[in-house]
Structure 1
């Protein structure tokens, strides 16, 4: 199995964009914000570059509010985290520490859900 790599290219007009490589078939991605799915994510082939896909994640205006907002992008098939991006609004960006803490909190929530699911599956 090939390892997927998602590289950010830009954020423009409220849309996060990146290039995903390492997938011969169109990948299915799961984008989450505060444990809720973000709709409107598109994946399209990059012309003349086999195994590369343009990923576009719209940032809904209703998700923007004061403080740090972190979006997680995962491979829907494996649950593997491919990338994340953070948007800070309403406050001066004194330090990126708040963004890192918010990301850790989101990843911890994801791990807790996976662990609980594992426990339920192994206990029968």
Structure 2
């Protein structure tokens, strides 16, 4: 299993350090289900790869924007705007800009509450079984 340690977003560039036996053939930045940029991958040591991508201006707008950094086995024949099936999500980046849309924040809170309720149920189930 590959491990990815993300770096902070600096000057419109994002990425991190990937630990893997070999470099992925392609790393894409995905926004709203579409690849918006391709990341650069350079060797950074034994089984280490530095991944960096410039965020395009199109992803910077009011509201909440979710970005995925995805590695896949894409080659010259692969679609430039889509990740291939079986791709690996390396990291996620959520951007809040301008006046956040109330619906975006409510959706995020609802998701967190649902996940917390699921965890509580599982902990209770485990506590009563043992």
TM-score by length of 2: 0.62
SS of the counterpart of 2:8?
strand
Counterparts of 1:16-27 in structure 2 under 5 Å? 16-22=14-20, 24-27=21-24
CA–CA distance in 2 between the matches of 1:66 and 1:32? 18
Q: How many residue pairs are counted as aligned between the two chains?
A: 95
1:98 maps to which of 94, 99, 105? 105
Where structure 2 has 5 or more consecutive residues not aligned to the other structure, the ranges are 74-85, 112-130
CA–CA distance in 2 between the matches of 1:56 and 1:100? 29
CA–CA distance in 1 between the matches of 2:64 and 2:51? 22
Q: 1:62 to 1:18 in 2, by over 3 A?
A: same
Where structure 1 has 5 or more consecutive residues not aligned to the other structure, the ranges are 105-124
CA–CA distance in 1 between the matches of 2:106 and 2:27? 22
- Give the CA RMSD over aligned residues: 2.6
TM-score by length of 1: 0.65
Cα deviation, residue 25, structure 1: 1.9
Which residue number in structure 2 is paired with residue 32 of structure 1?
A: 30
**Higher radius of gyration, 1 or 2:** 2
CA–CA distance in 2 between the matches of 1:43 and 1:15? 13
Cα deviation, residue 57, structure 1: 1.6
Cα deviation, residue 30, structure 1: 2.8
CA–CA distance in 1 between the matches of 2:30 and 2:38? 12
Instruction: Indicate conservation of the 8 Å contact 1:68/1:99, yes or no.
Output: no
1:55 maps to which of 48, 51, 66? 51
SS of the counterpart of 1:98?
helix
Runs of 4+ in 1 over 2 A off after TM superposition: 97-101
Q: 1:69 to 1:81 in 2, by over 3 A?
A: same
